[in-house]
Amino acid sequence: MRGPHNIIRLIRTGATLERTGAMNVVLDAFEAPRAIRILAHVLGKPFQWLGYKGDPDMPPATRALTALGPAYIKFGQVLSTRPDVVGNELAAQLRVLQDKLPPFSKAEAMAEVEKELGQSIAEVFSDFSEPIAAASIAQVHKAKLTSTGEDVAVKVLRPNVERAFRKDVDAFYFAARIVDLFAPGARRLRPMEVIEHFDGVVRGELDLRLESAAASEYAANTKDDDGFWLPPVVWSLSARRVMTLSWADGIPLGDNDALDAAGHNRRDLAERVLRLFLLHALRDGYFHADMHQGNLKVAANGDIIAYDYGIMGHIDEYTRRVYAEILFGFIRRDYKRVAEVHFEAGYVPADRDVDEFARALRAVGEPIFGMDATHISMGRLLSYLFEVTERFGMETRTELILLQRTMVVVEGVARSLDDHMNIWEVAHPVVEDYIKRSIGPRAALRDFGKTAMVLARFGPRLPALVENALIAQTKSDDTLASSKFAILLPAAIGAAAGIAATLAVMSFG
């Protein structure tokens, strides 16, 4: 599937942007230099006829991305949260991609539900509505359970969406290979690994059984978080292409007029969205990685309700600590420490100058502090940060892709609620609390305890390990066997002693 035929798919992407009039809109939004504009039009205009026509009633950018398919729609969803990058007008146009896309028919949805659940609609639901929200991968219907009369939300995958995504992802793989072959300077970005990561995320989003499991784990982690709520999954009515949740009413987080009319404090909501994201990422290592306005609502009591758990991010404890130290260093304006953390974690090659890197980070961080958020161009800031990473040979960290992407989205959502918000001030208490709990003496003791538990699990195998080493020694005078014995016996004895000492410390310390 990932052969040269994908050239047509990539050419068609540019042709669609040109045909729908979206090319100029996109170039203007990103303030593209003249050379890029000329190149884009030279490559796009001759192939306009290959481009998709799209819905002429939609604005150009929305029209183009919708016509190109679900993977491109996902990209548009991210941009819709960044008016500081693409401008307010384009961001508003793209927001319809979050949950207002053209739906497929109710009849198709009902047929899919019956097929997946193995029951007729009438057996399960006494009422099943027309689509109330439609996004790139699935749409949602409101229904009423026949058994209890409870209102529920039924999420159904779009017909053939798996095939559509496969085509796009194949084209992305081909583009990544082209970059690897013809743009050696971009290899540090590891385009193939990035696409592989995206592919894995998409595959998970296309199986609603995995989304149901993610929702359950996420709810367990966050059950005690004030001002945050997740509708529970109805497991008996969920399958691979259908997912049923308890119904939850609320005002979309992107509808500022409605939020104001209902008396909600938008500044509080903006700060809470950012704090919750950081709390989940740092405390749990498991966070909602698709937190655009279409997936967030505000209940009548002010709680933020999160939907759509198809894309969840996971980061291990070590990476969380690195990320927290980097954030905390920026917050404290300790650029030397931020630079050192990058080197310690292996994010920057060891042969680079740490002091020079710290000065480059200062140039990125200093414009943020003491300024009104509306005066900061996140687009220019990200552009400069990219130049810095390229200069110092930093490679793309695939384990941080979702975290970085979600941070960008969440910041965009928060600023759409309060464009004067300073993300660093809001982040400070969350990051500081995590630092205190995870990098101090208590954390060291906790890590020691975890290590002891791991060693203790291998304790019963130590006698056999020593016995096997002794047998190997007596059966053969081979030098290799002797060397194995010389290594294994002290290691076994040392491990046993280590376990004993550790357990003693845990018992009496």
133 bridge partner residues: 140
Distances in Å between the Cα of 260 and the Cα atoms of 2, 91, 95, 426 are: 49, 20, 19, 22
Residues 6+ apart with CB under 8 A from 105: none
Q: What is the pTM of this model?
A: 0.71
CA distance 231 to 219: 8
Residue 202, token pair as written in the block: 């998409």
For 145, left (φ over 0), alpha (ψ -120 to 50), or beta?
beta
| Neighbour-count burial of 192, counting CB atoms closer than 10 A to its CB (0-12 exposed, 13-18 middle, 19+ buried) | middle
128 bridge partner residues: 143
CA distance 399 to 194: 9
| Neighbour-count burial of 34, counting CB atoms closer than 10 A to its CB (0-12 exposed, 13-18 middle, 19+ buried) | exposed
Q: Return the H-helix or E-strand segment holding 244.
A: strand 242-246
> From first to last of its 509 residues, what are the pLDDT tens digits of the chain?
555 667 777 788 888 888 888 888 877 766 666 766 776 777 677 878 788 888 888 888 888 888 888 878 877 776 676 665 666 778 777 877 766 778 899 999 999 999 999 999 999 999 999 999 887 788 999 999 999 999 999 999 998 888 888 888 888 788 777 767 766 655 655 677 767 777 777 777 889 999 999 999 999 999 999 999 999 999 999 999 999 999 999 999 989 999 999 999 999 999 999 999 999 999 999 999 888 888 899 999 999 999 989 888 888 888 888 888 887 888 788 989 988 988 888 888 888 999 998 998 888 778 766 666 556 655 456 556 666 776 787 766 666 667 777 887 888 888 889 988 877 788 888 888 888 887 666 666 665 666 666 666 666 776 777 777 777 777 665 554 445 444 444 444 444 444 443 444 343 34
CA distance 133 to 103: 8
Residue 353, token pair as written in the block: 């100058």
CA distance 455 to 444: 17
Q: Euclidean distance between the first and final Cα of the chain, in Å?
A: 60
Residues 6+ apart with CB under 8 A from 382: 85
H helical segments located in 392-422: 401-417
Helix pair 462-475, 479-508: axis angle to 10 deg: 160
Indicate which residue of 290, 308, 334, 418 is catalytic: 290
Strands 228-229 and 138-145: unpaired
**Could you tell me if 68 and 97 are in contact, meaning their C-beta atoms sit under 8 angstroms apart?**
no
Active site residue 224: no
